[in-house]
Amino acid sequence: MAHSPRKGSPARWAAVVLPPLCLGGLMAWTAGVFRPPSISPSHFMQRFHNAGALGDGFRRAHAKGMCVTGWFDPSPKGQALSRSGIFKGEHLPVMGRFSLAPPLPYLPDNPAVARSLALQILSPKGDDWRMALVDVPLQSMRDIADAYAFFGAAKLDPATHKPDPVAVQTYAVQRPWLKTAFEQAKAHKQTSDLTNDSYNSLDSFILTDSTGKKTAVRWSVVAKEPFAPAEGSGANDGNYLFKRLVQTLDQRPLSWDIVATIARDGDPVNDPSQPWDAADQKVTVGTVTFTKAYSEDESPCGPMVFDPTILPDGISVSDDPLLALRSSVYMRSYATRSAEHKAPSMVTPGDVTNPTLTPDGKGQ
Ligand code: HEM
Q: What is the pLDDT of residues 158-174, one digit of tens each?
A: 999 999 999 999 999 99
Q: Is residue 87 part of a domain?
A: yes
Ligand 1 site-directed mutation target among 329, 331, 342, most atoms within 8 Å of CB: 329
Q: Is residue 190 part of a domain?
A: yes
Q: Are strands 214-223 and 156-157 parallel, antiparallel or unpaired?
A: unpaired
Q: Is residue 272 part of a domain?
A: yes
Cβ–ligand 1 contact at 315 (below 6 Å): no
Per-residue pLDDT, 5? 52
Q: What is the pLDDT of residues 271-281, one digit of tens each?
A: 999 999 999 99
Cβ–ligand 1 contact at 139 (below 6 Å): yes
Q: Is residue 293 part of a domain?
A: yes
Q: What is the pLDDT of residues 10-45, one digit of tens each?
A: 555 555 555 554 455 545 444 444 444 689 999 999
Cβ–ligand 1 contact at 47 (below 6 Å): no
Per-residue pLDDT, 202? 98
The protein residue whose alpha carbon is closest to atom 20 in ligand 1 is 61
As a whole number of angstroms, the distance between CA 232 and CA 361 comes to 10
327 C-alpha to center of ligand 1: Å? 9
The protein residue whose alpha carbon is closest to atom 9 in ligand 1 is 132
Per-residue pLDDT, 29? 45
Q: Is residue 12 part of a domain?
A: no
Cβ–ligand 1 contact at 272 (below 6 Å): yes
Q: How confident is the model at residue 9 (pLDDT cuts 50, 70, 90)?
A: low
Per-residue pLDDT, 346? 96
Q: What is the pLDDT of residues 252-289, one digit of tens each?
A: 999 999 999 999 999 999 999 999 999 999 999 999 99
Top-confidence residue, 201 or 358: 201
Cβ–ligand 1 contact at 154 (below 6 Å): no
Cβ–ligand 1 contact at 205 (below 6 Å): no
Q: What is the pLDDT of residues 296-334, one digit of tens each?
A: 999 989 999 999 999 999 999 999 999 999 999 999 999
62 C-alpha to center of ligand 1: Å? 7
Q: Is residue 359 part of a domain?
A: no
Average pLDDT, integer, range 340-354: 90
Number of Cβ within 10 Å of residue 143's Cβ equals 16
Are 118 and 245 in contact by the 8 Å Cβ rule? The answer is no
Are 301 and 62 in contact by the 8 Å Cβ rule? The answer is no
Cβ–ligand 1 contact at 116 (below 6 Å): yes
Per-residue pLDDT, 12? 59
102 C-alpha to center of ligand 1: Å? 10
Domain, as residue range, for 243: 38-353
List the CATH number of the domain containing 265.
2.40.180.10
Cβ–ligand 1 contact at 285 (below 6 Å): no
Cβ–ligand 1 contact at 334 (below 6 Å): yes
As a whole number of angstroms, the distance between CA 138 and CA 276 comes to 10
343 C-alpha to center of ligand 1: Å? 20
Q: How confident is the model at residue 236 (pLDDT cuts 50, 70, 90)?
A: confident
Q: Is residue 16 part of a domain?
A: no
Domain count, the chain: 1
Q: Is residue 63 part of a domain?
A: yes
Q: For residue 51, with 0-12 CB atoms within 10 Å meaning exposed, 13-18 middle and 19 or more buried, which class applies? A: buried
Per-residue pLDDT, 359? 44
Q: Rg of the chain's alpha carbons, rounded to an integer? A: 25
pLDDT at 2 over 60: no
Cα-Cα end-to-end distance for the chain: 102
Quote the percentage of the chain above a pLDDT of 90: 83
Per-residue pLDDT, 31? 45
Question: Which of ligand 1's atoms lies nearest the C-alpha of 60?
Answer: 35
The protein residue whose alpha carbon is closest to atom 23 in ligand 1 is 326
Give the amino acid at 29.
W
16 C-alpha to center of ligand 1: Å? 54
Q: How confident is the model at residue 231 (pLDDT cuts 50, 70, 90)?
A: confident
Per-residue pLDDT, 38? 84
- Per DSSP, the three-state class of 282 is strand
Query: Could you give the residue ranges of the DSSP H alpha helices within the chain?
Result: 10-30, 41-50, 76-81, 144-153, 165-173, 179-187, 240-251, 321-338, 349-353
Q: What is the pLDDT of residues 101-146, one digit of tens each?
A: 999 999 999 999 999 999 999 999 999 999 999 999 999 999 999 9
Ligand 1 site-directed mutation target among 62, 100, 290, 329, most atoms within 8 Å of CB: 62
Over the chain, what is the mean pLDDT?
A: 90
Which segments of the chain are extended strands (E)? Answer: 64-74, 92-100, 115-122, 128-134, 156-157, 162-163, 199-208, 214-223, 254-262, 282-295, 315-317
